[in-house]
Amino acid sequence: MKTLEVQLPDQTASKLEEAAERLSVSLEELLVLTVEEKLAQLDAEFRDSSDYVLKKNADLYGRLA
pLDDT per residue, tens digit, the chain (65 aa), is: 899 999 999 999 999 999 999 999 999 999 999 999 999 998 888 888 888 887 888 877 777 77
Ordered by start, the domain boundaries in the chain are 34-65
Q: How confident is the model at residue 59, as a pLDDT? A: 79
Q: How confident is the model at residue 64, as a pLDDT? A: 77
The CA-atom distances, in angstroms, between 6 and each of 3, 9, 50, 51 are 10, 10, 32, 34
The CA-atom distances, in angstroms, between 60 and each of 2, 19, 42, 50, 54 are 45, 49, 27, 15, 10
Q: How confident is the model at residue 33, as a pLDDT? A: 93
